[in-house]
Amino acid sequence: MTAIDDRRAAGQRTLVRMMGLSVAAAVVTIVLKLAAAGITGSVGFLSDAMESGVNLVAALVGLWAVRLAVRPPDLGHHFGHGKAEYLSAAVEGALIFVAAGAILWTSVRRLIDPVPIEQPGLGLALSTGASLVNLAVGVALVRVGRRERSIALVADGRHLLTDVVTSAGVLVGIALVAVFGWDVLDPIVALLVGVNILYTGVGLVRRSVTGLLDAALPPEDAARVEALLDRYRAAGPVDFHALRTRESGRQRFVYVHLLVPDDWTVKRGHDLAEELTADVAEILPGAWAFVHVEPIDDPRSYDHPMAPEDVAGGPGPEEPPGVTSGV
């Protein structure tokens, strides 16, 4: 196993552990928030608990998606299973819509018929404890998710941090109810919670759909690849064209045509393609590079129907993971 493979395996184990932590945090917060809702009778606390219920389901789906996404390529999935993470984010967004609908419906009913809140102090203490758990775990998930390039982990972490903001609004609302006796604030706060998590759901679904459509690499990653190719050009006598990129969950793919002198042997071109592949994996850890070798003076080398200047899309017919060297 190479050093790159070791890094991939370590990153995969980290993702599974972090999603397990998310599941545990969701269970703890649900218990605390349901206790707060049951003691106080507050629809605001109830809406907060319902959102944590969504967190639990989303964390379970995320755990499944991460376990699936880290599986290596197989005969039926030559490029691996990375897109499972986008499915997780889409499911989480859809669940948020369901929770928001339930919260809004309950809030409207309570707004029409307000009910006094009981023992608000104890409810506030329990909800605060749940929020602190979500804050710690959410920050950790986002930090690790960005480092490991996991959309499932980042999405779950952002959801937890949104839950913290939501809970803070609920806490303020319930505190005002306790101090001033404005019972109508309770359902109003719950309504705001519902609208807020709807906004979060839209963002998650939009990002997952973008990923499923094989988006190109971010500009900063593409710039690294271009800089690497420029170094090869400067060393000569080679050139490149038809550079295309895409990402699938944590996986990144780089496709490029390597133009070499006509008198080069197949082995010499292949050796340079292998060297380029290794360099791409160094600047973009875990990335797959697909290098096609062509003679630089052959006009047919430039007649490529899927070149970026011809179409705004991803690669053509896909090849097995690794390097394809051809003439």
Query: Which residues, including other chains, have CB under 8 Å from residue 320's CB and lie 6 or more apart?
Result: 73, 78
Assess whether 18 and 74 both reside in one domain.
Answer: yes
Q: What is the mean pLDDT of each run of 10 residues along the chain (327 residues)?
A: 56 79 89 89 79 78 77 76 73 76 77 77 88 92 84 79 79 79 76 77 74 79 92 90 82 90 93 93 86 88 60 38 36
Assess whether 165 and 251 both reside in one domain.
Answer: no
Q: Residue 62: what pLDDT?
A: 76
State the DSSP code for 248: E
Euclidean distance between CA atoms 251 and 151, whole angstroms: 11
Domain boundary, last residue among 212, 231, 264: 212
Assess whether 149 and 203 both reside in one domain.
Answer: yes
Assess whether 29 and 84 both reside in one domain.
Answer: yes
Q: Residue 2: what pLDDT?
A: 55
Among candidate residues 196, 249, 215, 221, the one with its CA nearest the CA of residue 66: 249
Assess whether 207 and 251 both reside in one domain.
Answer: no
Q: Residue 5: what pLDDT?
A: 54
Q: 108 near 47, Cβ under 8 Å?
A: no
Q: Residue 305: what pLDDT?
A: 57
Give me the domain span that covers residue 284: 219-302
314 lies in a domain?
Answer: no
Q: What is the pTM of this model?
A: 0.61
Assess whether 200 and 273 both reside in one domain.
Answer: no
Assess whether 39 and 146 both reside in one domain.
Answer: yes
Q: Residue 306: what pLDDT?
A: 55
320 lies in a domain?
Answer: no
Assess whether 202 and 259 both reside in one domain.
Answer: no
Assess whether 229 and 204 both reside in one domain.
Answer: no
CA separation, residue 207 to residues 96, 156, 276, 323 (Å):
15, 13, 31, 30
The tokens for 218 are: 């971010």
Q: 245 near 313, Cβ under 8 Å?
A: no
Q: What b/e readout covers 162-187, taking b as 16+ CB neighbours within 10 angstroms?
A: bbbbbbebbbebbeebbeeeeeebbb
Assess whether 192 and 131 both reside in one domain.
Answer: yes
307 lies in a domain?
Answer: no
